[in-house]
Chain A
Amino acid sequence: MIKHLISISDLSKSEVVDIISQAEKLKEVNERDIKKVPTLRGKTIINLFLEPSTRTRLSFEIGGKRLSADTINLSSSGSSALKGESFADTLLNIQALNPDIIVLRDKNSGSPFLAKKYLSKTAVINAGDGMREHPTQALLDLMTIKQVKKKIDNLKICIIGDIRHSRVAKSNIYLHMLLGNEINLVGPETLVPLEFQNKNLFGNKIKIFDNIQKGIENADVIICLRMQFERMQDSYITTIQDYIDKFALSEKLYNKYSKDAMILHPGPVNRGVELDSKLIEQSSSYLQDQVNNGLALRMALLIKYSYALKEENA
């Protein structure tokens, strides 16, 4: 069986711990003068990015290159998708070229499952599918949390904003449920799916707030989410200003209710909408560390999922 990373539920707690510790060790490679090791020499990694991305695509590409794999980037504008080729045909053609790993970003929720079905010899790493999951982002967030808080359990995680459309929020929720952390979800009721209140599905660890003050109180970690205007076909909020008044994390609120919390944001940031510009530049926010850790984290994943393959072929 080839292992894939499509959802957080593909991972056990001990695998999560191993991945983070591998990534911490791999940071050293990125600080060398010669930033290259031969570990994945001869491996082919295709980054199929059918939706825009800067950080995720760059870090998978650079990470693959630093491990000596051959990385090829394919985006929808440069591929036959523009000529009307279906996703399934694209996958079959990729399969015929026999890559070892495909890193997939797509606007359609669930497309990695389709990819897994068509690719019999290739490991699929989900780099974000629609509104569903973005597991590698949740893992790099966790790596950054461990770097600052020195632990990954007994934490209160607060996620603010557009949770409905956010794959980052969902992967973070599942990851912190796996670790047994407390989770506060904050946002207007239209943007926080009510299913997270279902105690049968999610237990007692998740609390939902439509009041930011109460939601962020004594949090260890605050994850701000981007308002995903491009995914909103209908209006989920009254006006932007109304949303900002109620749910933007301002310096004043932060200092009053949660000054020990570290601030994360998966990017790109709408400055002033979900997060105060002043907070981005102060020492309690770790947006740059997230990007930096993201590179090492993705290198650890590329090694892990190349080995998932070798298990099969050994």
Chain B
Amino acid sequence: MDNSIPLNWKKIIDKETLNKSLTRICYEIIEKNVNNQAIAIVGIRTNGEFLAKRILNKLTEISTETYDYGVLDITLYRDDLKYNNEMPLVKATDLPFSIKGKKIILIDDILYTGRTIRSALNAICDFGRPACVELAVLADRGHREFPIRPDYVGKNIPTNETDFVKVKLEETNHQEGIYLIPGESK
């Protein structure tokens, strides 16, 4: 629970804008679901889990449908494990429903290289055969390394590759917002 935000962190999205973005994503999800498919909202740990919960709550508020909710931990599927020196700490995956035939909407905070989403797709398919998978992200900062694109985007944030983008959420912090930490310019 770190309270203080370092001086070089620039707040680019505040709490109110963040909330509005999530609301818009929810309306888009409903609007796009013309066939009334069964939808499961699946958050990618850690921040995606909290965003997915918020999206689920908003969706149940503004529509009459019911939605499944689950959490995915992709640690066991990552492709960059061997470059880290520490034992990867697995958190549990919890998908208390059948994936089969459902429209899965993956939720994550930042879309960057696309490697997390690649891992998440592999993980999801190990649980069964979904009808389709869509991706909703709070922010897209570019610099993709895989052919992956989001279906719902809160904000597009232009960044340099060396920059860091951090999301703080009230579930784990006192602060809330998206921060840009400028990296060394090349």
Contact = CB atoms under 8 A, between A and B. Distances in A.
B127 A22 contact: no
A146 interface: no
Contacts of B81: 39, 307, 310
Nearest to B126: A34
A89 interface: no
A130 B88 CA distance: 32
A314 B83 contact: yes
Given A18-B87, A307-B87, A311-B85, A36 B126 contact: yes
Nearest to B123: A37
A38 interface: yes
Contact of B92 (A28, A33, A67): A28
B85 A37 contact: no
Interface in A8-64: 18, 21-22, 24-26, 28-29, 32-34, 36-39
A310 B82 contact: yes
B91 interface: yes
A38 B92 contact: no
A304 interface: yes
A22 B77 contact: no
A38 B122 contact: yes
A304 B71 CA distance: 24
Nearest to B85: A311
Please indicate which of the listed interface residues B73, B92, B123, B128 has the most CB atoms of chain A within 10 Å of its own CB.
B92
B77 A38 contact: yes
B93 interface: yes
A191 interface: no
B76 interface: yes
Interface string B64-99: 000000000100110001110111111111100000
B174 to A, nearest CB: 26
Given A29-B76, A33-B127, A22 B82 contact: no
Nearest to B78: A39
A244 interface: no
Contacts of B85: 310-311, 314
Contact of A32 (B77, B86, B91, B126): B126
How big is chain A's contact interface, by range? 20 to 34
| Dominant SS among interface residues on chain B | loop
A303 interface: yes
B92 A25 contact: yes
Contacts of B126: 32, 34, 36-37
Interface in B98-141: 122-123, 126-128
Contacts of A26: 90
Please indicate which of the listed interface residues B85, B86, B87 has the most CB atoms of chain A within 10 Å of its own CB.
B87
A246 B111 CA distance: 67
Contact of A304 (B83, B87, B122): B87
Given A28-B92, A33-B127, A314-B82, A39 B77 contact: yes
Contacts of B86: 307
Interface in A81-126: none
Given A22-B89, A307-B87, A314-B82, A39 B128 contact: no
Nearest to B98: A33
A69 B92 CA distance: 21
A54 B7 CA distance: 59
B114 to A, nearest CB: 17
B127 A25 contact: no
Contacts of A37: 76-77, 123, 126
Nearest to B125: A34
Interface in A137-177: none
A24 B85 CA distance: 22
Contacts of A22: 87, 89-90
Given A21-B89, A22-B90, A32-B127, 9 more contacts: A18-B87, A25-B73, A28-B93, A33-B127, A33-B128, A37-B77, A39-B77, A310-B82, A313-B82
Interface of A: 18, 21-22, 24-26, 28-29, 32-34, 36-39, 67, 303-304, 307, 310-311, 313-314
23 contacts: A18-B89, A26-B90, A28-B92, A28-B93, A28-B94, A29-B76, A32-B127, A36-B126, A37-B76, A37-B77, A37-B126, A38-B76, A38-B77, A38-B122, A39-B76, A67-B76, A303-B88, A307-B87, A307-B88, A310-B82, A310-B85, A311-B85, A314-B85
